[in-house]
Chains A and B, each alone.
Chain A
Amino acid sequence: MENILSLRNLDKKFGSVHAVNNLSFDIEKGNVYGILGPNGSGKSTTLGIILNVVNKTSGEFSWFDGNISTHEALKKVGAIIERPNFYPYMTAVQNLKLICKIKGVSYDKIDEKLKVVNLFERRDSKFKTYSLGMKQRLAIASALLNDPEILILDEPTNGLDPQGIHEIRKIIKDIASNGTTILLASHLLDEVEKVCSHVVVIRNGIKLYSGAVDGITATNGYFELNTEAESEKLWELLEKHPAIASVKKEDGKLIASLENELSASEINAYLFKNGITLSHLVKRMPSLEQQFLTLTNNN
Chain B
Amino acid sequence: MLRLLNIEFHKLKHNRASRVLTIIYFALLTSIALIAAIKFDIGVIKFHLADQGIFNFPYIWHFNTYMASIFKFFLLLVIVSMMANEYSNKTLKQNLIDGLSKKEFILSKFYTVIVFAAISTFFVFVVSMTLGLIYSDFNELSIIFSDLDYLFAFFIKLTAFFSFGLFMGILVKRSAFAVGGILVWFFVESIFKLFLFWKFNSDKLASNDTISSDSLSSIGVNDIMQFFPLESMANLIKQPFTKLNAIQTAGKQLGQNFAFDVSVHWYQIAIATVWIFIFIYASYALLKKRDL
Contacts and interface: CB of A to CB of B under 8 A. Distances in A.
Partners in one complex: yes
Interface of A: 14, 48, 51-55, 69-75, 77, 79, 81, 83, 85-90, 94, 97-99, 101-104, 142
Interface stretch (B11-19, B31-39, B155-163, B186-194): B11-19
A85 B94 CA distance: 6
Of B10, B16, B101, most buried by chain A (CB within 10 Å of CB) is B10
A52 B89 contact: no
B14 A94 contact: yes
A101 B7 CA distance: 6
Query: Which A-B residue pairs are the 9 nearest by beta carbons?
Result: A75-B99, A71-B101, A74-B99, A85-B90, A85-B94, A53-B292, A54-B291, A102-B98, A90-B14
Interface string B85-114: 000011101111111111010000000000
Contacts of A14: 291
A81 B91 contact: no
B46 interface: no
B100 A98 contact: no
A55 B291 contact: yes
Contact of A74 (B93, B98, B292): B98
B207 to A, nearest CB: 56
Contact of A99 (B3, B6, B98): B98
Given A79-B97, A103-B98, A53 B291 contact: yes
B289 interface: yes
B172 to A, nearest CB: 20
Of B14, B91, B94, B95, most buried by chain A (CB within 10 Å of CB) is B94
B10 A98 contact: yes
Given A71-B99, A71-B101, A97 B10 contact: yes
A52 B98 CA distance: 10
B99 A85 contact: no
A52 B91 contact: no
Of B15, B16, B97, B100, most buried by chain A (CB within 10 Å of CB) is B97
A139 B6 CA distance: 22
Contacts of B93: 53, 81, 85
A75 B100 CA distance: 8
B96 A52 contact: yes
B91 A53 contact: no
Contacts of A48: 291-292
Given A53-B292, A98-B7, A101-B6, A87 B89 contact: yes
A74 B96 CA distance: 8
B89 A88 contact: yes
Nearest to A97: B10
A87 B14 contact: yes
Contact of B7 (A69, A83, A90, A102): A102
B7 A87 contact: no
Nearest to B15: A89
Contacts of B94: 85-86
Contacts of A102: 7, 95, 98-100
Interface in B270-292: 288-289, 291-292
B84 to A, nearest CB: 13
Contacts of A86: 89, 91, 94
Of A85, A88, A94, most buried by chain B (CB within 10 Å of CB) is A85
Given A85-B90, A87-B14, A87-B89, 13 more contacts: A14-B291, A53-B292, A54-B292, A55-B291, A71-B100, A74-B96, A74-B97, A75-B99, A77-B99, A85-B91, A87-B91, A94-B10, A102-B95
Contact of B99 (A55, A72, A83, A89): A72
A101 B14 contact: no
A103 B99 contact: yes
A81 B292 CA distance: 12
A71 B91 contact: no
B97 A52 contact: yes
A85 B85 CA distance: 12
12 contacts: A14-B291, A52-B101, A53-B291, A55-B291, A74-B98, A81-B93, A85-B93, A102-B7, A102-B100, A103-B98, A103-B99, A104-B99
A71 B11 contact: no
A53 B3 contact: no
A81 B97 contact: yes
Contacts of B292: 48, 53-54
A53 B97 contact: yes
Contacts of A90: 14
A48 B291 CA distance: 9
Contacts of A51: 96-97
B88 to A, nearest CB: 10
Contacts of B288: 55
A4 to B, nearest CB: 15
